[in-house]
A and B are shown apart, each in its own frame.
Chain A
Amino acid sequence: MLRIVINALRTGVVTTRYPAEPSVPPDRFRGAPVLRPGSHLPPAAVCPTGALSERLDAGRRHVALDLARCVFCGRCAEDPWQDAVAIGRDFELAARSRDDLRIEVVADEPVVPAAAPARDPDAEAARASSEIHRVLGRSLHLRHLDAGSCNACDWELSALLNPVYDVRRLGIDFVASPRHADGVVVTGPVTRNLETAVRRTVEAVPEPRVVIAVGACAASGGIVGEGYASAGGVDRVLPVDVYIPGCPPRPEAIIFGILVAIGRLDARRPPREG
Chain B
Amino acid sequence: MIPALLGSFLGMMATGVPVAIAMAGSALVYILLTGDLPPFVVIHRMVSGIDSFPLLAVPFFIMAGNLMNHAGITNRIYNFALSLVGWLKGGLGHVNIIGSVIFAGMSGTAIADAAGLGTIEIKAMRDHGYDLGFSVGVTAASATLGPIIPPSLPFVIYGMMANVSVGQLFLAGIVPGLVMAVLMMLTVAYYAHKYHWGGDIAFEWPRLGKAMVELGVVIGFPMVMWGMLVAGMPFNAAFGLCLLALLASDYTWKFDAVMPIMTPVLLIGGMTTGVFTPTEGAIAACVWALFLGLAWYRTLTWRMLVKVSMDTIETTATVMFIVAAASIFGWLLTATRVTDMVALWVLSFTHSPWVFLLLANLLMLFVGCFLEPTAAILILVPVLMPVVQQLGIDPVHFGLVMVLNLMIGLLHPPMGMVLYVLARVANLSIEKTTMAILPWLVPLLLSLVLITYVPSISLWLPHLFY
Q: Say whether A associates with B.
A: no
Which residue numbers of B lie inside 8 Å of A, CB to CB? none
